[in-house]
Each structure stands twice: as structure tokens, then as C-alpha cells.
Amino acid sequence: MRSTKRLRAGLILAAAGAIAATFAMILSSSATAGTTLGGSAAEKGRYFGAAVGTYKFGDNTYMTVLNREFNSLVPENEMKWDATEPQQGRFNFSAGDRIVSHARSRGMSVRGHTLLWHAQQPGWAQGLSGGDLRNAAINHVTQTAAHFRGQIYAWDVVNEAFADGGSGGRRDSNLQRTGNDWIEAAFRAARNADPGAKLCYNDYNTDGINAKSTGIYNMVRDFKSRGVPIDCVGLQSHLGTGIDSSYQANLQRFADLGVDVQITELDVMQGGNQANIYATVARSCLAVSRCTGITVWGVRDCDSWRGSDNALLFDCAGNKKPAYDAVLRELNQGNPIPTTPNTSPRTTPPTTPPTIGPGGCTATVSVNQWNGGFVANVRVTAGSSAINGWRVTLALPSGATVTGAWSANRSGNTGTVQWTNVDYNGRAAAGQSTEFGFQATGTAGVLNPFCAAS
Ligand code: XIL
């Protein structure tokens, strides 16, 4: 009898503790909740981007929203083949450069879109076939990726090469008629020209498990097994009034092949469900640790290629729509990317053995660097006894400035920065880990975190 009572009292205490811990987490996460799409995504180790057009750069409302909300840009048209190589062998990167330089000046990353596609080809390429087209296409990939080398976080190397419908096969196009291996040839050329960029395959009507996404899945699996360089799959996600119930499972199955996934061109027809559909996309991405970011295809409804669908997160006056609030809420509630180093080419594994602090903890860092900025995830591990709190000291190279952090308090944002636990992640049992992270502008170089228990 007595032991049952004690057990029950213990359970009540444990439950109270769990409730208190949950409450503390809610309190502290709302205390640090981001107030912009980019800021909130960065707190979760991700980006939130928008497709932009340089012809809008003079519009104040547009620029205000863009600069405030997004931490990644993709040119809506400026890096396509017709724009960058209007005559064979004569390249014009000026509009793309303008977008890159705007992004760099604000610490935003850039997606490159797109090296090869059946649409928006220059007239001269449309008139080529066979070996001439193959050579011109590979030269285009090489010259374009080389021009932007070091400045692109991820390239859509090939866009929309699969057929709609149930075949799961390739779309017919002039490029496809040069031979089924045109896609892997493009990926190899892109890797040679810009070894630091993540290389993605990008397509639409792939927003769930269906014949088309399965065709792409099989190609990616084949590429991985044969060592064809591919790092990511872009799901465009141009959505109507519904979303497939297998949306998240589809992201996860690609991630399980060992590639990142990114939502690359999100827009959703306005209707009763717009906010819910946007929320489902954001929630799904945050639930998949290799889903590294979301891009919406335009800033305001009237910037959208979808005419009267009112498919974006801001109205024409730049006001936030209900869908915006829904996305922000999901970003603030979602999971950070775990700190396990991934295998992408931009991830720098810890290069020095972790330093053991006198108080018995170690810290390791993994860095995801792009040109002009990086995200660092720091893992704190208790030594042979439990810790109740920790302090990590990290010397940043000159030129690096912390712009946001999650799950830690910090002193300063340049030079030697001290990080201390927040209330919910100070404790770790012997050998157990907890983590925090931050985003910064500049170059991480080699970071040597020092951990002390407190
Ligand atoms: C669209 C642009 O938004 C339009 O401005 C342009 O006229 C046509 O292309 N899938 C893609 C994007 O990969 O490049 C397309 O962008 C939209 C569909």
C-alpha cells in the first residue's frame, strides 16, 4: 500500500516536472520566437527565400518586404539560358550579378535557377540538336556555374525533365533527344565548375508520392549509387486548393536517399485553404531534418506569375496575409536541423579534437557555409558526470558577425563570443548532448569551441 502511494506521489512529481519543463520550453521559445520569415527559419538552421525580378528593385514597398522578411533569393528569370546566353557563346550575367550582389550585401544566400530546362531557351539553342546541342548545353552549364562560382548556395542544375502523368519517365525535349545521360552530364559539368554549390534536380507536380516523383526518386537513387554528383532535390510546390497527404512522406523518402530537399517555388491558390496549405508545407519541411529551406515564388500577390490566384504571402500593398501568419507560426514551432554533420560538400566537419573543459563538457561544431554567411550548429556533450549548465567560448574570425542564434544566450556578436545555456538545455546526463546554433555573416573558417560546465 505504502509503496503504491509513494509510486503515485513519484509519478505526480514527475508529471509536474514534465509540465514545468514543457512550460519553460514554451516560455523560452516564445521569448526567442522570430518575427520574420527569414529570422525564424534561420533559428531553425534553414532559409526562407523569395524569387525576385530586378525590374522590381525600384519599388519601395517590394524592397521593404523583401529586405525585411527573406534571407535567401532566387532570380525568377535572370539566370535562365535565354537571359544569360542570348547569343551562342556571348554571355550576359549582369542581371544575375545584380541579384547576387543585393543578396550578398544583406547576408542572404542565393539559389541559382536554372542551368538547363526545356523552356526559356534562347532561339539559337532551340534550333540545335544532337551533338551540337549537347556541347552547347554543357558549355552553358560550365560557363554559367563558373561565372557564379562561390556565390550560389544551391543550383537547379536541371529543371522539369520528367513527364507529367503516370509514365514516371522523361519528358520529350530537344535536350532529352541528345541522349538519356544529358542530366548526369550536366551535373558533372556543374560540379567541376562550382564545387562548392549544392547541385539540385528541380521539378513540379512532385508534391506527394506519385508516378512522376517516383521516376525522379529512382533517378536520384541511381545517381547516388553510381557517384553522379547530386546533393538536393527541389520540389517546386505550385499548389492549388489542396495538398497531397503524402507531402511530408515524399520529402522524407528523398532525404533518406542522402540528398537535401528544398521547397523551391512555393505558391498556393487563394481559397479557403490557403493558410492551411502553406502551414502544412512549412510544417512538413521543418519535420524533415534534411529539408534545408523554403522559397516562395515571388513577394506580393501582384508580383506573382500566377495572375489572379493571389498565391503569395503578402497582398499588393505589402500587408501580411493570414497565410503569412500561419507560416511564421509553423517556423517558430518547428524543429531545428539536428547537429549531426551531413555529407553535403559545404559542411565542414570538426577539424580539431574537441577541447575538454575543466568542468567536464566538450563542444563540437558543424558549419554550413555559403558565400558571405554560415550557419553553425554546436553540440555540447557532458563528460563522465552530469552537468547542470554550460558555457561555450568560441572565437570567430575577423569579419564574421553573428546575426541570430537559437537555444543559447550570448555575449556580443563578433570576436570571442561566450554562449550559455538557456533554461531548458542546461542539463545533460553523463555522456549526453544538447545543442544550440547561430547564423552569421562572413566566413567561419575553422572554429574551435571550448566548453566549461557552470
Ligand atoms: C516562370 C516565371 O515566374 C515567369 O516570370 C516566366 O515568364 C516563366 O517562368 N517553373 C519554374 C520557373 O521552374 O522558372 C517558372 O517561372 C515557373 C514554373
- 198 with 115, same domain: the answer is yes
Expressed as residue numbers, the domain containing 272 is: 37-332
Please tell me the pTM assigned to this model. 0.72
**pLDDT (0 to 100) of residue 27:** 39
Q: What is the pLDDT of residues 321-338, one digit of tens each?
A: 999 999 999 999 988 887
For residues 328 and 431, the model is more confident at 328
Give percent above pLDDT 90 in the chain: 69
Atom of ligand 1 nearest to the CA of 117: 13
Residue ending a domain, choose from 294, 314, 332: 332
Host H or E run for residue 405: strand 401-406
- Active-site residue flag, 160: no
Least-confidence region, from 112-126, 225-239, 257-271, 417-431: 417-431
- Dihedral, 318, 322, 323, 327 alpha carbons, nearest 10: 100
- 42 with 109, same domain: the answer is yes
Cell of 446: 575553422
- 310 with 405, same domain: the answer is no
CB 203 within 8 A of CB 216: yes
What's the 304 CA to ligand 1 centre distance in angstroms? 10
- 281 with 416, same domain: the answer is no
Residue 93 has pLDDT above 60, yes or no: yes
Residues with a CB atom less than 6 Å from ligand 1: 76-77, 159, 204, 236, 265, 305
Atom 12, ligand 1: which residue's CA is nearest?
Answer: 76
- 231 with 302, same domain: the answer is yes
Atom 5, ligand 1: which residue's CA is nearest?
Answer: 305
CB 133 within 8 A of CB 182: no
- Per annotation, catalytic residue among 184, 265, 330, 435: 265
Residue 307 to residues 196, 275, 300, 301, 314, Cα–Cα distance (Å): 36, 19, 11, 8, 14
Atom of ligand 1 nearest to the CA of 51: 3
> Looking only at Cα atoms, what is the longest distance across the chain?
89
φ, ψ for residue 125 (rounded to 5)?
-75, -35
Host H or E run for residue 125: helix 123-126
What's the 297 CA to ligand 1 centre distance in angstroms? 9
Q: Report which DSSP code applies to 245.
A: T
For residues 377 and 56, the model is more confident at 56
| Radius of gyration in angstroms for the set of CA atoms belonging to the chain, rounded to a whole number | 23
Which residues lie across from 110 on neighbouring strands? 73
Atom of ligand 1 nearest to the CA of 298: 3
- The CATH number of whichever domain residue 410 belongs to comes to 2.60.40.290
- 255 with 320, same domain: the answer is yes
- The C-alpha atoms of residue 272 and residue 266 are separated, in whole angstroms, by 17
Atom of ligand 1 nearest to the CA of 80: 14
- 281 with 390, same domain: the answer is no
- The CATH number of whichever domain residue 59 belongs to comes to 3.20.20.80
Total domain count, the chain: 2
- 421 with 287, same domain: the answer is no
Residue 161 has pLDDT above 80, yes or no: yes
- The C-alpha atoms of residue 210 and residue 249 are separated, in whole angstroms, by 11
Place of cell 566548453: 451
**pLDDT (0 to 100) of residue 359:** 62
- 265 with 406, same domain: the answer is no
- 379 found inside a domain: yes
Q: Which residues of 40-65 are buried (b: 16+ CB within 10 A; e: fewer)?
A: bbbbbbbbbbbbbbbebeebeebbeb
- 341 found inside a domain: no
Q: What is the pLDDT of residues 241-296, one digit of tens each?
A: 999 999 999 999 999 999 999 999 999 999 879 999 999 999 999 999 999 999 99
Tell me how many degrees the CA angle 66-333-440 measures, rounded to the nearest 5. 50
- 15 found inside a domain: no
Cell of 383: 563528460
- 144 found inside a domain: yes
Pocket test for ligand 1, best of 158, 263, 299, 305 (most atoms within 8 A of CB): 305
- The residues, ordered by sequence, that sit 6+ positions from 125 with a Cβ below 8 Å of its Cβ are 81, 85, 88, 133, 136, 137, 140, 174
